[in-house]
Amino acid sequence: MDLSITHFITSFSRERISVYQNYIRSSEPNLLPVDISLKALKLYLWNIQISSALFEVINLYEVTLRNKIFAVVNSQFQDSINDNHFKRRLSPFFRGKLNELGSSITAPMIVSRLNFAFWTEVLNKHFNYLGSVDASGNPLYPRLYNFNRDLFSINRTLTREDYNKLTQKLIKINDEVNDLRNRICHHEPIFKSNLRVI
């Protein structure tokens, strides 16, 4: 079995490894080609390690978030996630995903079978107030707007507006986490990402 650097490099697609080689070549232009290949391989392996570590944290975040959201939905809708009022506020795409599961699905299966983007949709449609008003100018709060506080573990009193701002921030974070998760799952290089922000 050939374990040489050349063998490793050629076992990857040219497009995949060239990202790493180009990065090394541009950051250290005086290196010999063999050194560029070696450093590119090390960078590739480091990218795998950091991706694996981040993926574990993302999974924990995702499971915790799903469970928190589902607990509120389950307590406030008569038929839980299969409630018609609940489904009506979802976009047709996510309503379809929910309908594909059928009405006899159990709670643990609901939480595990619906993807991260679905739960962000639930936050957006059922918890987040975007300023809608009725004909008289009264706010049209989504049904779970008053339950935003149940999503957060905060030891001080906040206004409904404060919780709504937190919910909006959570939605933004979810979009960023979901983007990173997808990049990791597709084996994209994340080594150039600002990992301090993540």
The predicted pLDDT at position 69 comes to 93
Domain boundaries, the chain: 56-185
Q: Please tell me the predicted confidence (pLDDT) of residue 51.
A: 94
Q: How many of the other CB atoms lie within 10 Å of CB of 127?
A: 27
Q: What is the pLDDT of residue 58?
A: 94
Q: 3-class secondary structure for 58-89? A: HHHHHHHHHHHHHHHHHHHCCCHHHCHHHHHC
Which pLDDT band, with edges at 50, 70 and 90, does 64 fall under?
very high
3-state SS, residue 32: coil
Q: Which of 20-34, 49-63, 147-161 has the lowest mean pLDDT?
A: 147-161
pLDDT at 1 over 50: no
What mean pLDDT is predicted for residues 46-75?
92
Task: Measure the CA–CA gap between 104 and 112, rounded to whole angstroms.
Answer: 15
Confidence label for 48 from pLDDT (cuts 50, 70 and 90): very high
The pLDDT assigned to 166 comes to 92
